Amino acid sequence: MKDNLIKTAFVGFGEINSPQELIKEMCLQAREEVESLGVKVATTGHVTDDPEGKDVQRAIDDLSRQDFDSLIVCLAGWIPSHAVISITEAFKDKPMVLWGLAGKMENGRVVTPAPQAGTTALRKVFGDLGYKFRYVYNIIGKPSPLGTIQNFLLAATAAKKLRSTKVGMMGFRDMKLYNTLYEGLSLKEKIGTEIEYFEMLEMFQLSQQADTKEIAGILKKMKTEWEFEQEADEGFLKKGIACYLAIKEIAEKNKFGAISLKDVDGMKKILDFPPAMIFMLLSDEMNLCTIPENDAMGAVTQLVVKQLTGQSAAYLEFYEFFENSVLMGVPDYVPAEVVEGKIKVKPAAFGNIGGGLLNISTMKTGRLTLARLSNTGNRYSMHICTGEGKLKAWEEAGWDYPAPQLPSLDIHLDVPVDDFAQKISGQHYIIAYGDHTGPLKDYCYLKNIEVV
C-alpha cells in the first residue's frame, strides 16, 4: 500500500506517408509530458502502418518485455485502424488511454497530420472490442489533458494493486449491525480484497507476551508526541500498547492493509478496553487503514481511497443533518494525518462503558471528498460527494462531564443535503482532503461499480 508508483506504457502512431520526423517529435513530446507527472513509462518507437508490419511486431515485442498497468495509445496523425488494433489486442486486458494529439497554427492556417481522423475511427471500435479506455484529445493552443490522463492511469494502477489487498478482521458483526456485512465471493471477484479473521484470544495471548522494553519505548514516544489533557493511568496505556503490538505482529505476518476490530461487543464488553488508542497506533505507527465495528465495506473503501490518494483515508460517521451541511465526527479516534496541530487525548467514559483514552484533537478543515463502497448481492456501488469541512461546536450526550469536543467536521456539501441523504449507504464514510472524484470515478468505471 505504500507503493503508489503509476506504471504505464506509451505507444505513438502515425501513418507511414506522414512526415516521420514530425510524428516522432510529437510522440516524444507527449511521452515526456506523461513522464513529467512522475509516471514510470514503458515505451517503444512510434509505429507506422508499414506494409510488412515490422513496426507493429517490434512494438509488441518491446512492450511484452516490460511491466506496466495501463497502455497509452497516442495518435500523432492519421493511421489505418488495423495497425493500432494489432497492438492493442495483444494487451487488451490493460486499461487504455486513446489520446489524439493536435496540429498547430502556421501563418494563420491550421497545419495538421489529422490525428483526430485516426482517433475517431477507433473510439467506437475500442468500445465494441470491450476495452476499458478513456478517450482524450488535444486542442491547438491549449494544454494537454494531463489531469484526465493521470486520473485514469492512477485508477488503473490502483485496480491492479487492490487485487492483492487484505483486511484483518478481529471478530464479526459488532452490535449485530447489517450494513457492515459483506459478500466474500463477489468482493473477491469485483475488487480482489480478502477479509481474513483473527481471534480476540489470539490477540490477547500475544499481548501478554509483549516485550516490556518495546512497550516502554512506545509509551515514552506517546507522552512526548501526544498532549494529555488529563493524566492517564499508566497501566491502562501499557495494556493498550501491548494490544497494539499483538495486532501489529498479526498484521505484519498476514500482510494486512487494513484492520477492523469488534469494538462495542468485543474490546469494550469482553476486555473492558475501548480500543481508540490501539487504532491510533495502528494508523500512525504502521500506516494501516483502521475502522471500528467490523465494518468490512468501510475498510475496503479505505483501501481504495488510500491507494488513489495516498492519504490515511480516515472514517467519520454521521451525527446530525442541517439544511446545508452534515455534522460528521467520531466517538473515539482519528489518524494524526487529519489533525490540526498536536494529537490531544484525555481519559473519558461513555454511559456504562468503562473509561478509555479518547482522541479529542481538532480536525483539519477544507475541501474534501466523501466516499463509501457498498453492495447489494453482487451489485456494487460507490457513493461519492465533495464538500467543505468546517468546525462547529457540539457535544454527544452521554459522556462524562464536561463532555469532550469530539474530532468532527461540519461538511457543507456540493449537492443538496437531502439528495445526499437519500443515497447514504452506511453510518461510516471515508474522507480524503481535496477533490478526488476523478480517479474514484475512473476506478469505479474500470471495476464496473456504479457511481451514485
**pLDDT average, residue stretch 46-64:** 97
2 confidence band (pLDDT: 50, 70, 90): very low
**pLDDT average, residue stretch 191-211:** 96
Beta bridge partner(s), residue 382: 373, 451
Q: Which three cell numbers stand for residue 255?
A: 500482510
The three-point CA angle 220-223-227 to 5° equals: 165
Return the pLDDT at 3.
55
Confidence (pTM): 0.95
144-182 tens-digit pLDDT: 999 999 999 999 999 999 999 999 999 999 999 999 999
CATH tag, 165-451: 3.40.275.10
Return the pLDDT at 405.
86
321-373 tens-digit pLDDT: 999 999 999 999 999 999 999 999 998 877 655 558 999 999 999 999 999 99
381-420 tens-digit pLDDT: 999 999 999 999 888 887 777 778 899 999 999 999 999 9
pLDDT tops 70 at residue 4: no
Q: Are 183 and 380 in contact (CB under 8 A)?
A: no
102-118 tens-digit pLDDT: 999 999 999 999 999 99
Return the pLDDT at 299.
98
Return the pLDDT at 351.
62
Residue percentage of the chain with pLDDT more than 70: 98
Share the mean pLDDT of the chain: 95
Q: Is the dihedral of CA 230, 236, 238, 241 positive or negative?
A: negative
297-312 tens-digit pLDDT: 999 999 999 999 999 9
203-236 tens-digit pLDDT: 999 999 999 999 999 999 999 999 999 899 999 9
Q: Provide the CA 2 distance to its chain's centre, in angstroms.
A: 12
The domain segmentation of the chain, as residue ranges, is 7-161, 165-451
Q: Which three cell numbers stand for residue 383?
A: 457513493
Return the pLDDT at 1.
38
Pairing of strands 379-390, 408-413: antiparallel
pLDDT tops 90 at residue 190: yes
Return the pLDDT at 114.
96
pLDDT tops 60 at residue 43: yes
The CATH-assigned architecture of domain 7-161 is 3-Layer(aba) Sandwich (3.40)
Residue with cell 495486532: 247
